[in-house]
Amino acid sequence: MVVQVFMSHTKLDKECCDRFDSAAARVGLKVFRSEFETIQSPAWKTVKDEINKSSALFLLVGKELVNAQTLSDSSQKARDDWKHTQNWIAYEVGVACQRDIDVWVICDSVTINFPVPYLNNYDVWGIQPDFKPSLDWIRGVFTEYNEGRNYPFGRNPTKMCTCPHCGASFNLHSNLPENSKVPCPTCLGVMLFKNGFNLAT
């Protein structure tokens, strides 16, 4: 049986989506990426069916997705486009939450600027194409899903983080230096890591 994960994204963030696809393909994991699939009407039903077939949902937050939210202040068309995108993200995350599958927010070296209602895994830095540890890490995550496991995989201590503003808890998958300030992906409140965050300890 082929294992699948669902990619929540904007097709404008082609480079980071391609890196994600490539890393998954290296371990034989299928990714549902809507622009490459046949979407039957109504679209919401196809999306729901594909999430129901998936082991996890990965929301890729790239430059274009962040820009879309920023531009929504500039014109009615930009507001309408962003509302459409935001509604789809909320719907996809809601279906995944209802199914109780893992929801990842992976930022591609950008700062998230819109709230995600639910997640249980957060990566601040994204998949860096020229940084081997980053590629090895995401391939390891994909391999675990491909072998039928969900996160946490039980091999390393879970690195839980709880937002002091909204109480959302999630696994944080990023090394952070001392005094790092990172937005909570659920409420966008600034989380201060006075002592940093080290995945190796």
Q: From CA 27, how far away is CA 183, in angstroms rounded? A: 31
- Per-residue pLDDT band at 153 (split at 50, 70, 90): low
Average pLDDT over residues 9-25: 92
Which percentage of the chain shows pLDDT scores above 70? 95
178-196, pLDDT tens digit by residue? 999 999 999 999 999 999 9
Question: Which residue in this structure is represented by tokens 């819109």?
Answer: 114
Q: What is the mean pLDDT of residues 17-23?
A: 93
**The pLDDT of residue 36:** 62
pLDDT band with cut points at 50, 70 and 90 for residue 155: low
Give the tokens for residue 109.
């070296």
Given a cut of 80, whether residue 107 has pLDDT beyond it is yes
Can you name the CATH fold of 4-161? Answer: Rossmann fold (3.40.50)
180 vs 190: CA distance, rounded Å: 10
Give CA–CA dist 136/132, Å, rounded.
6
Rounded CA-CA distance 74/82 in Å is 11
Q: How confident is the model at residue 135 (pLDDT cuts 50, 70, 90)?
A: confident
Q: What is the mean pLDDT of the chain?
A: 90
Q: Where do the domains of the chain lie?
A: 4-161
- pLDDT at 154 exceeding the cut of 70: no
Contacts of 73 (CB under 8 A, 6+ apart): 79
pTM assigned to the model:
0.93
Rounded CA separation 185/8 (Å)? 15
